[in-house]
Amino acid sequence: MTRDMPGFFNVLAPDDALKVIRERLDPTVEKEPMATHEALGRVTAEDVRSPEDLPSFPRSTMDGFSVRSADTFGASEGLPAYLELRGEIPMGAASQIDLSPGQAAKAYTGGMLAGGADAVVMVEHTQPVDANTIEVLRPVAPGENVVQVGEDILNGDVVLPSGHVVRPQDIGGLLALGITGVRVARRPRVAIVSTGDELVPPDTAPGPGQIRDINSYTVSALVSGAGGIPVSTPLVKDDLEAQRETAARALAANDMLLFSAGSSMSNRDLTASVIDGLGSPGVLVHGISLRPGKPTIVGLVDGKPAFGLPGNPVSAMVVFDLLVRPTIYLLAGCPVPPEPPRVQAELLRDIASQAGREDYVQVKVVSRDDVLCADPVFGKSNLIYTLVRADGVVKVPLDKGGLYAGEVVTVRLY
Amino acid sequence: MTRDMPGFFNVLAPDDALKVIRERLDPTVEKEPMATHEALGRVTAEDVRSPEDLPSFPRSTMDGFSVRSADTFGASEGLPAYLELRGEIPMGAASQIDLSPGQAAKAYTGGMLAGGADAVVMVEHTQPVDANTIEVLRPVAPGENVVQVGEDILNGDVVLPSGHVVRPQDIGGLLALGITGVRVARRPRVAIVSTGDELVPPDTAPGPGQIRDINSYTVSALVSGAGGIPVSTPLVKDDLEAQRETAARALAANDMLLFSAGSSMSNRDLTASVIDGLGSPGVLVHGISLRPGKPTIVGLVDGKPAFGLPGNPVSAMVVFDLLVRPTIYLLAGCPVPPEPPRVQAELLRDIASQAGREDYVQVKVVSRDDVLCADPVFGKSNLIYTLVRADGVVKVPLDKGGLYAGEVVTVRLY
């Protein structure tokens, strides 16, 4: 596909670039079975429905007494209702007691109600008279202090919808119903191809002009954090044939391709050529109205997403967060990724920007007189320590020329 | 230790309860070696310092030409500076070229500068004249478009402080310096003891009056998310001796104890007795001015934290987030846990509360006319689906009597 064909976009806003992928991506989500208690962070691959009512018996929410509520109507401290105590329903046991009018049975929080009872009187609102009698000092309404059968969830209700990222409480919700296994989306496998004549592996001492490859490791960790399985290939030189061969093999064995190339123009052209040569349609977006991160390539190769990330670590991080993370979740069948951590903070210095471009400025979050503040880190985007020293980023929206000191801004922490 | 001894607190605010643990906890953080690329989310157990300057050679940040900046002073489109082109410095190679006055060499983004050069002119600000000559159309200042030796980080600088949770970019920062291994805190082992006569394992069909144990699984997932290793014990009946024995064994083999007991008064007294009997000082706080979550027990047993969590799933979640999560990080030597995800949202309904108590109200986050809104889920705190249906919680501070519809509130997502 050549660059002037319909469907190719030259420089798009980040949201529009994501839309380009979102609209064209139609992944087949492969399902795999998973023990419920091991499903934390996984994406459900189908609707899960409740096989039963929860709770399955009326439960007391208080320590007190099972009663027939009508027996307590009109009761007060001055004129208590006297009830015959029939015994207790022990925790974990079926009720062996059926209440007749004028009777009560001891109830524990979480325990079963006595037969015939429709409410529980808190122990604080009663007084013992003798071993077999209590005074009830306040009336209770029918259903008071009781969880009814099915009040938590009903047989047949959707417990979790498909495409939902499983949280700790979801594990509890499933197990409460005896659902000990769920079908989740297979984790997307994300191949990371790191290219550059200047790169050596991190355990190698770089010679003059060489640097250690770090982007593939940073990106691997980001992929893991987004629920994907990172698959790194060995370093590739700046050579079209070598890159094409490595990329083709990587894409065949995985669900998505991330190119981490140098930032020079020739590197970017090389990445674009490789992605275009891999399959159809190839490169869809070349360049994003974003700083840092402009030299980003977004492509689709025979249904699999392929990104050319900028070589600068700061740029790569920003682009990953805006475009790659949501795409990994899309591949797992989850349209809305979990919200990342954010804090509100007062900006300490002006940030200049340019309308028509989204700017992401690294900041440190500091506390000044008990107020959270965002202090811009004005490091170059090719310095990894600009990222290491920062706590997160502040976005300057497309339509703004900058942000002013004193404004309250949202910091995306990472 | 009896309840009226100095150092025992009856009902504390959540922050004060955490302070009680924080001030008395002096954990020995055990270190373990870890490959840097596998250290994501782990806590550094010592300061890491840089063994070298980064970068180790002056690098170009642009595609263009290495120059001696003085040669470009006064250059303009009308009166360009003419420089002799001496060749190029290929990516990943040491410079073989030393510039004399009036000379330039082709430079690539990330490549090494030519010897004698102190700046780079962007290719866009030059024009080729012939194979051996370029025109420079704008002046560059010394150091312009160059990353200097050590500009990223200097030999001996602290790369990461001790007690820092490793992020993707930190992995990149370490590997950039050839630091392929770090010493991290051993993950705290957190024993979870689930007690209750009414509980059966989740894969068992509960009889009348019985329910499936879910809290230990929800809490296990929360422990994992907080960087701990959850260690569950088999279910224990409501029997002092049985509980004491299980708890003593669990505490001996682990770094911390979480009791998940029923919510009845007798359960709570049992948990308190067990914790008091395990060692010194035992129970420190009995009851938190918190809703839900009041019946919480905070203790310390021979230097190890021990918590009695409320039996209600919603309460247990709130208490875990406020007290247990930060304590797990403390055990790993990290005083400030990573910020959890939060969003700002407009409250859809009034929330009534009571001054002098912190209230946490479960909410769903919904979008109304493109505005994020928080819709309170008024489920009972003993229903697990109150949590499953919610996206997070809104806090009503201690000194407030409630929140009003229309207020912008912070939702802690989970």
User: What's the CATH class of domain A14-27+190-331?
Assistant: alpha beta
Q: Within chain A, which residues score under 50 in pLDDT?
A: 1-6
Name the nearest CA neighbour of A292 among A260, A329, A322. A322
- Of A256-265, A359-368, B91-100, B277-286, which gets the smallest average pLDDT? A256-265
pLDDT at A263: 66
Taking CA atoms, what residue in B is nearest to A413? B339
**Candidates 3.90.1170.50, 3.30.420.40, 3.90.700.10, 2.170.190.11; correct CATH number of B59-147?**
2.170.190.11
> Which pLDDT does position A7 carry in this prediction?
55
B205 to chain A: nearest residue by CA?
A: A178
What is the mean pLDDT of the segment spanning B26-53?
97
B372 in contact with chain A, both atoms CB, cutoff 8 A: no
Which CATH number does the domain B33-54+154-185 belong to among 1.10.1380.10, 3.60.10.10, 3.20.20.70, 3.90.105.10? 3.90.105.10
* Closest residue in chain B to residue A113, using alpha carbons only: B209
**What would the 3-class secondary structure string for chain A be?**
CCCCCCCCECCECHHHHHHHHHHHCCCCCCEEEEEHHHCCCCEECCCEECCCCECCCCEECCCEEEECHHHHCCCCCCCCEEEEEEEECCCCCCCCCECCCCEEEEECCCCECCECCCEEEEHHHEEEEECCEEEECCCCCCCCCEECCCCCECCCCEEECCCCECCHHHHHHHHHCCCCEEEEECCCEEEEEEECCCEECCCCCCCCCCEECCHHHHHHHHHHHCCCEEEECCCECCCHHHHHHHHHHHHHHCCEEEEECCCCHHHHHHHHHHHHHHCCEEEEEECECEECCCCCEEEEECCEEEEEECCCHHHHHHHHHHHHHHHHHHHCCCCCCCCCCEEEEEECCCEECCCCCEEEEEEEEEEECCEEEEEECCCCCCCHHHHHHCCEEEEECCCCCEECCCCEEEEEEC
Using CA atoms of B396, B397, B401, B407 in order, give the dihedral in degrees to the nearest 10. Answer: -50
Q: Which residues does chain A have within 8 Å of residue B40's beta carbon, measured at their own beta carbons?
A: 221, 224-225
pLDDT of residue B19: 96
Fold entry, domain A32-54+153-185: Molybdopterin biosynthesis moea protein, domain 2 (3.90.105)
- Average pLDDT, rounded, for chain A: 94
Distance CA B331, CA B27 (A): 6
Whether A218 and chain B come into contact, CB under 8 Å, resolves to yes
Write the CB contacts of A94 (distance below 8 Å, at least 6 apart in sequence): A112, B207, B208, B209
A339·B343 Cβ contact <8 A: yes
pLDDT of residue A8: 63
Q: Above 60 in pLDDT, residue B37?
A: yes
Q: Where are the domains of chain A?
A: 14-27+190-331, 32-54+153-185, 59-147, 342-413
Fold match, A14-27+190-331 / A342-413: no
B121-134 average pLDDT score: 96
Closest CA in chain B for residue A216: B172
Q: Which fold has domain A342-413?
A: Beta-clip (2.40.340)
Average pLDDT, integer, range B266-295: 92
The CATH homologous superfamily for domain B14-30+188-331 is MoaB/Mog-like domain (3.40.980.10)
What mean pLDDT value characterizes chain B? 94
Query: What is the average per-residue pLDDT within B119-146?
Result: 97
pLDDT band for position B355 (cuts 50, 70, 90) = confident
Q: What is residue A311's predicted lDDT score, i.e. its pLDDT? A: 87
| ipTM over 0.95 threshold | no
Give which of A91, A267, A269, A410 to mutate to test B binding, by max B Cβ within 10 Å: A91
Neighboring chain A residues of B168 at a CB cutoff of 8 Å = 218-219, 221-222, 225, 317, 414
Residues of B in contact with A220 (CB under 8 A): 37
Residue of B89, B196, B384 with shortest CB distance to A176: B384
Nearest to B40 among A111, A204, A221 (CB): A221
Q: What is the pLDDT of residue A4?
A: 46
**Do residue A212 and residue B176 have CB atoms under 8 angstroms apart?**
yes
User: pLDDT category, B157, cuts 50, 70, 90?
Assistant: very high
Average pLDDT over every residue of B89-95: 92
Share of chain B above pLDDT 70, in %: 98
Residue B2: which pLDDT band, with cuts at 50, 70 and 90? very low
Is residue A229 within 8 angstroms of chain B, CB to CB?
A: no
Is B1's pLDDT higher than 70?
Answer: no
CA nearest neighbour of B59 among B110, B123, B11, B117: B110
Q: Which residues of B, range 344-363, sit inside 8 Å of A by Cβ?
A: 344
Q: Chain B contact for A25, CB < 8 A?
A: no
CB A195 within 8 A of CB A238: yes
The predicted-structure confidence for B218-243, as pLDDT tens digits, reads as follows 999 999 999 999 999 999 999 999 99
Q: Which residues of A touch B203 (CB under 8 A)?
A: 178, 180
Residue B324 has what DSSP assignment?
I
Most B-contacting residue of A147, A175, A194, A321 (CB-CB within 10 A), to test interface? A175
Q: Which residues of B touch A180 (CB under 8 A)?
A: 202-203
